[in-house]
Amino acid sequence: MELTNGQYSIQSIPVNDITQEFGTPVYVYDEAVIVRQIESLRKGFSSVNLRIKYAAKALTNLSILRLMKKQGVGVDVVSIEEARLAVHAGYTPEEISFTPNGVVFEEIIAAVNLGVAINIDNLPTLQKFGERYGNQKPCSLRINPGIMAGGNYKISTGHLQSKFGISIQQLSQILDIVKKFDIPVSGLHVHTGSEIGDLDVFFKVADVLFSAARNFPALKFLDFGGGFKVAYKPGDFVTNIEDLGTKLGKAFNQFCQEYGQSLELWIEPGKFLVSEAGTLLVKTSLVKETPMLTFLHVNSGLNHLLRPMMYDAHHEIVNVSNPLGPQKKYTVVGYICETDTLGADRLLNEVREGDLLAIKNAGAYGFTMASNYNSRLRPAEVLVTNKTAKLIRKQESFDDLLKNQIDL
């Protein structure tokens, strides 16, 4: 979203035109930003045999999945439903990697039957996988490297107290199970968290992966996960993709020489690809002045964008309707029956009742975490492609709240 001549636009389409056509609240995604992010990864990791696997949980709209497919990006899914969505979007099973966490084994069987690549993250499941499939089905292994990283504890997944992955301290147990059932291990995977700005984390993870990989003679890839940090406000420190790709690529190629064969380097960006592409557009329902604060109530809330309340996440907010007005301090809140602050103590251009506000960087974990709390309807989604705004999900209706209920 750009401000030009006093007007906000997305791919030259005035934001006001988008909301006049599709209403508010509405999620709007800019295809050009997604393509730009994909290209930056390919440029940064140009020295290796790179495979990008989009972390679908960030945004699972079918049109977004099809866009990723069109750009030659694979997909990583975390549930059998996400796997089926990916197939529905046009992915072949071979292009899908399945990385669930602690699911019932029947879900693993369903994924194997679907034909997707299986990534196992615990010893009991590895044991069951070996008992059922022996050396007939390959799998990869998610390793917990014992490294703390990420912008929030809730999204830090690689430390020793995390539920994710098989601890690197249990490597001998992994090897015992693999040997007992002759399981073909095709890759090793690690994901330490989200919003990682410190490049040293990736190199510490690489050391763990390289060391573990020497115990598996027939690997095809090493998967370094995602977690690349994007800017949520001006001046934010972000992951330097060019620097990371150059240095990690050099270390990876050196390892491949020592390993004796060339492997693929996989990464699983989610937020990095779609976060900055997404904007949540909302309307100011009232301006409420109190002795302490001035509240801006909008026609949305934590039911549409949970991240500020869930992770204390910062999303930049701008006044689309009055972008050049004098600045005042506001606290932007939603319409849910509990505290649902979207932005506290924000300097915004003067806001009036009915003004359109844009909540930026809302493409990742916005709609996918949305709910019907307070029996509110989930919003529409729009994709701007080739300077055209297209509806990719209708706003829910009251009938949608009733359709799966059974009246006794």
Give Cα 159 to chain centroid, integer Å.
20
Question: What is the torsional sign of CA 107, 110, 112, 117?
Answer: negative
Nearest in space to 96 (alpha carbons), one of 81, 123, 70, 75: 75
Distance CA 308, CA 237 (A): 19
Nearest in space to 138 (alpha carbons), one of 94, 100, 196, 186: 186
Active site residue 337: yes
Nearest in space to 76 (alpha carbons), one of 33, 36, 121: 121
Encoded amino acid at 96, one letter:
I
Give Cα 96 to chain centroid, integer Å.
16
Angle between helices 199-213 and 241-259 (to 10 degrees): 10
Structure tokens at 240: 């330097």
Cα separation values, 356 from 24, 100, 263, 285, 318, Å: 9, 39, 50, 10, 9
Element (H, E) at 230: none
**Phi-psi region at 20: left, alpha or beta (left = phi > 0; alpha = psi -120 to 50):** alpha
- Decide if 239 contacts 257 (C-beta within 8 A): no
**Phi-psi region at 18: left, alpha or beta (left = phi > 0; alpha = psi -120 to 50):** alpha
Half-sphere exposure for 175 (CA within 13 Å, toward CB): 11
Selecting among 106, 218, 291, 337, the annotated active-site residue is 337
- Decide if 335 contacts 298 (C-beta within 8 A): yes
Catalytic residues: 337
